[in-house]
Structure 1
Amino acid sequence: MSLAHLDCRPFAAFCEGHHAAACAIPSAELPARMHELPKTSEPLALYGVGDDLHQAYAFLTSKGYHVAQQTEWTRQVEAMLQAEGLWQCGEHSQRLWQPAPLIARFVTEFMPLYALTPGEGLDIACGAGRDMVYLAMHGWAMTGIDYIPAALQRAQQLAATQQVCIRSACVDLETGTDPFIHYANGQFDLITVARYLHRPLFPWLQRLLKPGGILIYQTFMQGAEQFGSPRNPNFLLKPGELAQIFAGTDILLDTVETLDDGRPVSAFICRQVASFP
């Protein structure tokens, strides 16, 4: 069984020595750093001391995680890891989180296939920033937009843990005015949108893409309401809707994927082929 190793001790103690595959998130910081954890389907091996270990275990199990292994950190544990070649000291913390599968596929498959060179990217409704940070780790100069300041702060913190730089802006995309007034036509080589749908933005997305620029759009399709949220039809794509809206582009991918909970989502990637007025 493959385990994700999580060390919930204070960071100073982690730096003195830890499991080589461990991610460092002190127990008190777990509620604010949930976006750094793997999927709940991935079992965890948890390391800690005393109350920190118990508090982390209680919190993680309350959130649906399976803690398959709890280890009280002792000198004996350290010696065992050293003997097995699994002990490490220093600040390096392993990454347990993953971007959206479509973003990972874009980097590993579409970028080499279409010889795409990283440039300026925009993540709309970026949330805590996993997709944006992942793209920044692969060379993209990313800007994230969201209306929640705390989400943008988490995105900046996540970028810092991965030693990349991102830009962020707190913008309400649904005010009725131009939310991209400070951005020029044809400014971005890449625009990504995940789990967010506000149809009045579609013309702006076309305006912001450079000729040859890429749009990645993944959000909930009609039918998702049978499994949970969102249920509002304003937040659910119709079959073929994105292909119709972006008919003037070169469509590289247009399919429907299914999340683990059964909800259908779009997997749509297109490339701008001409400037829009």
Structure 2
Amino acid sequence: MTHDHSLDATDLCSQEFWDARYDSTAAVWSGKPNPHLVEQVTDVAPGNALDVGCGEGADAIWLASRGWNVTGLDVSPVALTRAAARAAEAGTEIAGRTSWKQTDLRTWEPPAHRFDLVSAHFIHVPASDRRVLHGRLAAAVRQGGRLLIVGHHPSDLQTSVGRFDFPDLLFTAEQVAAALDPDDWEILVCAEPTREALDPEGRPVTIRDAVLHAIRRG
């Protein structure tokens, strides 16, 4: 698998990388909420949510449409400007339930025990940063609240889907679950579901996600 050898794994976490990617096109993402979010959260009573790596805002807007008050975080102010504009387009009620914050997730520390839902989809940082980040995200969940972490599975590197060839960035659901204290957390889902995608040549390929959904006891 090929990639830009001028980049390293930390570059893929930077504001410069993501601002350039968002500036390169009118829309990077589909505008639809992540399907694992919809699957896992549709029947959950709304509260305060943290959408980590919110991008152009589709997940946060979907949550707000279901009554959640959502803080969206992203490293890219370009993405956040789009997210805020799309929330405004969705109406005053949605805009009023969403707020947006630019931050480097590798150094940011959320308030402890603050959120009913912390959701992070496809946030890939080097393993040493990931362990710290996931620990901080878990600490931000209040008692009875939920942690939902979804990522690209390492097995994707064995396909033609076109992932950057940095194995250190990818993770399994079991790795996320293993870092949670079983006295504090009930694991609801620890799975590696497959889905169909197209590779850069337009060929169908089966890829796998890492999905961890846990609830803080108490």
TM-score w.r.t. structure 1 length?
Answer: 0.58
1:139 is paired with a residue of what secondary structure? coil
Contact 2:173 2:212 in 1 (8 A): no
Partner of 1:187: 114
Deviation at 1:247, TM superposition (A): 4.2
For 1:127-154, what per-residue CA distance to the aligned partner results, in whole angstroms no more than 9, with x for missing partners?
1111111111111100011110000111
Larger radius of gyration: 1
Measured after TM superposition, the shift of residue 34 of structure 1 is 5.3
Kindly tell me: are residues 137 and 174 of structure 1, through their superposed partners in 2, closer, same or farther at Cα, counting changes over 3 Å? same
**Which 4+ runs in 1 deviate beyond 6 A?**
none
RMSD: 1.9
Structure 2 distance, partners of 1:106, 1:157, is: 26
Q: Which of residues 245, 256, 265 in structure 1 aligns to 2:192? A: 256
Q: What whole-Å deviation, never above 9, does each CA across 1:88-146 have from its counterpart, x for those lacking one?
A: xxxxxxxxx421111111233xx2xxxx4211100111111111111111111000111
**Equivalences, count:** 174
State the alpha-carbon separation in 2 of the partners of residues 132 and 230 from structure 1.
26
2:192 counterpart SS class: strand
Separation of aligned partners in 2, 1:172 and 1:152: 13
Q: How far did 1:205 drift?
A: 1.3
Within the candidate set 134, 138, 152, 1:220 is matched to 152
- Contact between 1:189 and 1:214, CA under 8 Å: does it hold in 2? yes
**Does residue 217 of structure 2 align to residue 273 of structure 1?**
yes
Q: CA deviation at 1:239?
A: 5.7
Within the candidate set 122, 131, 137, 2:65 is matched to 137
Contact 2:134 2:176 (8 Å CA) reproduced: no
Report the Cα distance in structure 2 between the residues aligned to 1:107 and 1:205, rounded to whole angstroms: 17
Aligned 8 A contact 1:224 1:230 in 2: no
Aligned twin of 1:211: 143
- Cα distance, 1:269 vs structure 2: 0.8
Give the superposition deviation at 1:245: 1.4
What stretches of structure 2 of length at least 5 have no aligned partner? 1-24, 125-129, 198-205
| Separation of aligned partners in 2, 1:230 and 1:216 | 24
Post-superposition offset of 1:199:
2.6
Letter in 1 for 2:75: Y
Cα deviation per residue 1:140-199 (whole Å; 9 max; x = unaligned)? 100011110000111111212222121011001124xxx12xx43111110001111323
Compared with structure 1, are the counterparts of its residues 239 and 173 closer, same or farther at alpha carbon in structure 2 (3 Å cutoff)? closer
Extract unaligned runs of 5+ from structure 1: 1-30, 38-96
1:146 to 53, 57, 74: 74
Taking the aligned partners of 1:239 and 1:138, their CA distance within structure 2 comes to 27
Give the SS at the match of 1:240: helix
Secondary structure at the counterpart of residue 260 of structure 1: strand
Contact 2:172/2:210, CA 8 A, preserved across alignment? no
TM-score relative to the length of structure 2: 0.73
1:196 maps to 2:116: no
Looking at both structures, which has the greater relative contact order when contacts are Cα pairs under 8 Å and sequence separation is at least 6? 2
1:32 pairs with one of 16, 26, 49: 26
Q: Which residue matches 2:176?
A: 242
Taking only the aligned residue pairs, the percentage that are identical comes to 27
Using a 3 Å threshold, how does the CA distance of structure 1 residues 239 and 151 change in structure 2: closer, same or farther?
Answer: closer
